[in-house]
């Protein structure tokens, strides 16, 4: 009884917020079915577990959804033991339960795919990681830039400044959500600002490095980036539900949980949004099952040959480096974890694992402040996977 009352209060609070803005929805009650082995007060709408992960902490992360932080979440833990959980709602208008394997915008997890393609091309001898942007994409950079290597693009030490954007915040971008910026426009704006620092001397995470890498992939292969991703990564790994939008298409095709974000204090449906300006840096749509295939296949050397794969687990020799080629290194509970987070309005995602794959986690969260600091979302939905 208390749990039902709590759900009703959460629903009422969300509905009140929605009714104040452009989207109003009827009241709903979030489903939370009791699960064997987990207290009913903390059980997500669907959970399947075996031995291994800290199931109690993972279930607690999903408890009470939807709430002020997220409307839905999917968590998939693997390695030594397995745990799957889903909670929240698919649509605030109807209150339908969240989909267990719904599609979502994976944001910067896309960079893992981009880095994989570049490293495959390096293994084939078609790209030299010590070759330069000036060599492969002549005329893209001005004479103000020192030579920038492919490796420096991969590990975010290129010195390029951020490129053009249709809005650096959800609030700023929302009025422009159906507009388009081409990769060349994005890069041209970066180049016009000149270098931020000498290549290879600092690490500065950003989309611009991977936008240039996308252009490099197309130049070297003579093919579209999205097609190269499909034939080199998605199809070989059986990622049947992963794709890129067709140009400026703002929709997520196939079953998905809708995304909501706060704009000027009001919760707004932001599911439909043209993300083409993020392209090879953050335009991918996927599922947790597919991203688990990517994570496991990558770490096992099935995506990138072992000699080149080491680039994804080697930090550059610069102060306070956290990123290798695409992947970020962190330590949790004495474990070294490698992974990548991503966010787009209404959606936050992550893949992470120990190097030996003894523990893996993939999550997709319909976060109501996805473009803010992603650490609270990671702490709540990802970190518990590494408790033990």
Written as six digits, the tokens of 219 are 């130049």
Written as six digits, the tokens of 329 are 């290194």
- The distance in angstroms from the start CA to the end CA of the chain is 33
- Give the pairing of strands 260-263 and 359-367: unpaired
Residues forming the active site: 108
- What are the beta bridge partners of residue 284? 107
Cβ-contact 311, 154 below 8 angstroms: yes
């Amino acid at each position: 009884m208390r749990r039902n009352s709590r759900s009703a209060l959460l629903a009422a609070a969300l509905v009140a917020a929605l009714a104040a803005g452009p989207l109003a929805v009827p009241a709903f009650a979030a489903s939370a079915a009791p699960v064997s082995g987990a207290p009913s007060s903390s059980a997500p709408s669907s959970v399947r577990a075996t031995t291994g992960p800290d199931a109690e902490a993972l279930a607690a992360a999903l408890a009470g959804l939807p709430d002020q932080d997220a409307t839905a979440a999917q968590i998939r833990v693997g390695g030594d033991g397995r745990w799957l959980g889903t909670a929240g709602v698919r649509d605030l208008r109807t209150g339908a339960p969240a989909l267990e394997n719904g599609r979502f915008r994976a944001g910067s997890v896309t960079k893992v795919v981009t880095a994989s393609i570049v490293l495959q091309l390096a293994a084939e001898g078609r790209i030299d990681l010590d070759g330069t942007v000036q060599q492969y994409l002549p005329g893209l950079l001005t004479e103000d830039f020192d030579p920038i290597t492919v490796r420096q693009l991969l590990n975010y030490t290129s010195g390029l400044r951020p490129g053009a954007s249709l809005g650096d915040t959800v609030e700023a971008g929302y009025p422009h959500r159906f507009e388009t910026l081409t990769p060349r426009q994005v890069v041209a704006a970066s180049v016009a600002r000149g270098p931020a620092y000498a290549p290879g001397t600092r690490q500065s995470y950003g989309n611009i490095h991977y936008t240039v890498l996308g252009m490099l992939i197309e130049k070297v292969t003579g093919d579209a980036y999205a097609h190269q991703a499909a034939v080199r990564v998605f199809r070989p790994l059986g990622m049947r539900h992963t794709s890129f939008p067709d140009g400026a298409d703002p929709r997520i095709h196939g079953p998905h949980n809708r995304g909501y974000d706060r704009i000027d204090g009001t919760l707004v449906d932001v599911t439909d949004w043209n993300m083409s300006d993020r392209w090879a840096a953050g335009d991918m749509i996927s599922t947790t099952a597919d991203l688990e295939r990517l994570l496991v296949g990558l770490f096992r050397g099935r995506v990138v040959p072992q000699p080149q794969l080491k680039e994804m687990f080697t930090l550059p020799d610069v102060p306070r480096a956290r990123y290798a080629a695409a992947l970020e290194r962190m330590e949790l509970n004495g474990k070294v974890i490698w992974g990548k987070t991503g966010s787009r309005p209404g959606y936050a995602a992550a893949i992470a694992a120990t190097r030996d794959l003894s523990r893996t986690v993939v999550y997709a969260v319909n976060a109501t402040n996805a473009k803010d600091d992603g650490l609270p979302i990671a702490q709540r939905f990802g970190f518990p996977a590494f408790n033990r």
